[in-house]
């Protein structure tokens, strides 16, 4: 199926041979250079089994070849469920879910954040958590005999400010704020 | 034994019965769980977006526990994963610890790398111990067949979890289920992930991942699925009806959190364990014990 070339997906001929070093400098991306393409990761990956868009071995090879734009702009890097099955099994300790995280971090800097992740990052900045703890939630907790929880956590937004994450979240494609 | 309990974002809003039963059972077993109101999100969802921010969120939480001289006990497997990872990295990488402490200093906090993190169920397994648990059983659940879903982040990456259980052939949850007198159901897809982490990216694939396991566990004639993570509960509990409707199948598989199973076996009433507040009401199951 995948060997049939899709007419609307152009062949990538512009390669960036430095891309693999860029990924290897990113936290979690260090071991990408050791991959010898055995395919152990893909063969045990439940996501790859169900969704032909996702193939960890192929993504690693695309990075090594230097297909920077195709990889960073693609939805597929966001499809790793971080189940760590391949992480346990990879004979070269490539640590694939961490490599995917490294790629996602670079993609965010290039303005390619996945909307679901942007939404989560914004919620956490606002409430200090994924879900707001409002009065109703606390009332229910007290009814159950559980402790109340403060409604926000301003230090989380402070951390975003220190690391520059707010700026990154407003970035557009091309990496400009 | 005293630990800080890290609730995370999801449990204290969406899975109160998990929190309630865990605290109740812990109390009975001499495990004191201390709430720290200043805890925030663990940082897990941010790791995909900005590594440094995720590490700082996790480190800030670790620092809050360290201030009180406590280790952390978690209920959510995803929280367990990022907190364990950051605790491990900061304990083994001095340069990273220095840089992190410096930034935490801007928030008036400090962290010196001492806090250890364990999932609640791992604490039961390793610290409370199967023997004490067996001694606390007053109503053996020998009428139940229970299938455990380990999920991923409870065990893996195994290196940062000191390989306390085998990632390819885990047994801790099954042994904890057996300790309650229930029959621990073995099944083919036991090690598979529920798909929760990609629910917002590709719902169809995520729900298909969850479906494979629901099918398998149903075929094995289990009375319930044993869960230890609120995300897995979203997939197998909250989404069970949707999966059944989408795929035109039928399930009758309540989900239970491990402390609820243990609590029942310890003779605690189902009301005190919040069983009827679970996403799927375990009516048939409760009829079996009364
Ligand atoms: S298992 Fe490791 S070495 Fe093999 S293809 Fe995957 S990343 Fe490369
Ligand atoms: S960690 Fe990601 S790539 Fe590896 S098996 Fe799981 S979903 Fe697939
Ligand atoms: S893993 Fe999820 S539930 Fe746990 S604290 Fe983090 S964001 Fe919240
Ligand atoms: S969502 Fe999947 S990856 Fe996350 S804890 Fe549940 S089983 Fe593991």
What value does the mean pLDDT of chain B take? Answer: 96
| Residue B47 counted as domain residue | yes
Residue B69 buriedness (CB in 10 A; 0-12 / 13-18 / 19+): exposed
pLDDT tens digit string along B167-209? Answer: 999 999 999 999 999 999 999 999 999 999 999 999 999 999 9
* The ligand 1 atom nearest the CA atom of A40: 1
Q: Which pLDDT does position A176 carry in this prediction?
A: 64
Regarding whether B238 and B161 lie in a shared domain, the answer is yes
Label residue B290 by pLDDT band (50, 70, 90). confident
Q: Which pLDDT does position A174 carry in this prediction?
A: 73
Regarding whether B280 and B188 lie in a shared domain, the answer is yes
What value does the mean pLDDT of chain A take? Answer: 93
pLDDT tens digit string along B22-70? Answer: 999 999 999 999 999 999 999 999 999 999 999 999 999 999 999 999 9
Label residue B236 by pLDDT band (50, 70, 90). very high
Answer whether B54 touches A (CB < 8 Å).
no
* Least confident span in A109-113, A137-141, A154-158, A168-172: A168-172
Residue B266 has pLDDT above 70, yes or no: yes
| Residue B18 counted as domain residue | yes
Which range marks the domain in which residue B79 is found? 2-119
Regarding whether B74 and B166 lie in a shared domain, the answer is no
Q: Distance between CA atoms of B224 and B235, rounded to whole angstroms? A: 14
Q: For chain B, give the percent of residues with pLDDT over 70.
A: 100
User: Which of B207, B190, B189 has its CA nearest to residue B198?
Assistant: B207
> Does residue B209 have its Cβ closer than 6 Å to ligand 3?
no
Label residue A173 by pLDDT band (50, 70, 90). confident
Average pLDDT, integer, range B216-240: 96
CA distances for A76 relative to A60, A62, A114, B7, B59, angstroms: 12, 12, 10, 31, 30
Average pLDDT, integer, range A76-93: 97
Regarding whether B153 and B234 lie in a shared domain, the answer is yes
Regarding whether B211 and B183 lie in a shared domain, the answer is yes
Q: Which pLDDT does position A3 carry in this prediction?
A: 58
pTM score: 0.95
Q: For chain B, give the percent of residues with pLDDT over 90.
A: 99
Q: Which pLDDT does position B131 carry in this prediction?
A: 97
Regarding whether B94 and B221 lie in a shared domain, the answer is no
Which residue on chain A is closest to B197 by alpha carbon? Answer: A81
Label residue B140 by pLDDT band (50, 70, 90). very high
Count of structural domains, chain B:
2
User: Where does a domain end: B89, B119, B149?
Assistant: B119
| Residue A95 · residue A28 · CB < 8 Å | yes
Residue A101 has pLDDT above 90, yes or no: yes
Q: Distance between CA atoms of A143 and A146, rounded to whole angstroms? A: 7
Residue A171 has pLDDT above 90, yes or no: no
| Residue B67 · residue B74 · CB < 8 Å | no
Q: How many CB atoms lie within 10 A of CB B137?
A: 16
| Residue B128 counted as domain residue | no
| Residue B143 counted as domain residue | yes
Q: Name the residue with higher pLDDT: B88 or A176.
A: B88
Which domains are present in chain A? Answer: 14-109 (1.10.1060.10), 115-169 (no CATH)
Q: Which pLDDT does position B209 carry in this prediction?
A: 96
Nearest to B40 among A78, A101, A156 (CB): A156
> Does residue B78 have its Cβ closer than 6 Å to ligand 3?
yes
Regarding whether B180 and B106 lie in a shared domain, the answer is no
| Residue B127 counted as domain residue | no
**Distance of residue A79 Cα from the nearest chain B Cα, in angstroms:** 6
> Does residue B196 have its Cβ closer than 6 Å to ligand 4?
yes
pLDDT tens digit string along A24-43? Answer: 999 999 999 999 999 999 99
Average pLDDT, integer, range B156-170: 96
Q: Which pLDDT does position A2 carry in this prediction?
A: 53
Question: Is residue B166 helix, strand or coil?
Answer: coil
Regarding whether B34 and B154 lie in a shared domain, the answer is no
**CATH code, B71:** 1.20.1050.140
Regarding whether B233 and B173 lie in a shared domain, the answer is yes
**CATH code, B199:** 3.40.50.11810
Q: Distance between CA atoms of A77 and A102, rounded to whole angstroms? A: 10
Which residue on chain A is closest to B34 by alpha carbon? Answer: A147
The reply to whether residue A27 touches residue B51, judged by beta carbons under 8 angstroms, is yes
Regarding whether B145 and B110 lie in a shared domain, the answer is no
Regarding whether B168 and B273 lie in a shared domain, the answer is yes
């Amino acid at each position: 199926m995948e060997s049939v070339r899709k007419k609307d997906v152009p062949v990538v001929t512009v390669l960036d041979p430095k891309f693999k070093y860029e990924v290897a400098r990113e936290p979690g991306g260090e071991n990408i250079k050791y991959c010898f393409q055995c395919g152990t990761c893909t063969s045990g990956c439940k996501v790859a089994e169900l969704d032909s868009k996702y193939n960890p071995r192929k993504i690693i090879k695309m990075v090594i070849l230097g297909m920077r734009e195709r990889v960073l702009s693609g939805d597929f890097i966001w499809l790793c469920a971080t189940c760590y099955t391949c992480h346990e099994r990879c004979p070269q300790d490539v640590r694939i879910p961490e490599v995917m995280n490294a790629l996602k971090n670079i993609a965010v800097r290039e303005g390619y954040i996945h909307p679901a992740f942007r939404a989560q990052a914004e919620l956490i900045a606002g409430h200090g958590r994924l879900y707001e703890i409002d009065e109703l939630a606390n009332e229910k907790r007290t009814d159950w005999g559980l402790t109340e929880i403060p409604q926000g956590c301003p230090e989380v937004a402070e951390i975003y400010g220190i690391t520059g994450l707010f700026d990154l979240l407003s970035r557009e494609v091309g990496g400009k704020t | 034994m005293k630990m800080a309990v890290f609730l995370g974002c999801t449990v204290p809003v969406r899975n109160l019965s998990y929190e309630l039963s865990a605290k109740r059972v812990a109390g009975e077993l001499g495990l004191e769980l201390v709430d720290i109101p200043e805890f925030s999100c663990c940082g897990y969802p941010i790791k995909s977006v900005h590594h440094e921010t995720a590490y700082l969120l996790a480190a800030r939480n670790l620092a809050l526990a360290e201030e009180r001289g406590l280790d952390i006990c978690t209920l959510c497997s995803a929280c367990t994963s990022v907190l364990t990872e950051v605790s491990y990295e900061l304990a083994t990488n001095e340069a990273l610890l220095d840089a992190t402490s410096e930034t935490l200093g801007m928030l008036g906090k400090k962290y010196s790398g001492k806090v250890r993190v364990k999932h609640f169920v791992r604490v039961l397994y390793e610290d409370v111990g199967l023997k004490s648990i067996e001694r606390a059983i007053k109503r053996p659940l020998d009428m139940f067949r229970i299938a455990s879903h380990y999920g991923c982040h409870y065990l893996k990456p195994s290196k940062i979890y000191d390989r306390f259980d085998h990632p390819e052939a885990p047994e801790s949850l099954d042994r904890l289920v057996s300790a309650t007198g229930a029959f621990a159901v073995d099944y083919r897809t036991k090690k598979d992930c529920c798909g929760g982490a990609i629910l917002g990216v590709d719902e169809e694939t995520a729900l298909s991942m969850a479906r494979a396991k629901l099918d398998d566990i149903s075929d094995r004639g289990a009375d319930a699925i044993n869960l230890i993570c609120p995300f897995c509960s979203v997939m197998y509990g909250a989404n069970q009806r949707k999966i059944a409707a989408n795929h035109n199948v039928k399930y009758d598989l309540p989900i239970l959190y491990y402390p609820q199973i243990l609590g029942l076996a310890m003779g605690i009433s189902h009301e005190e364990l919040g069983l009827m507040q679970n996403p799927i009401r375990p009516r048939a199951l409760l009829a079996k014990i009364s």
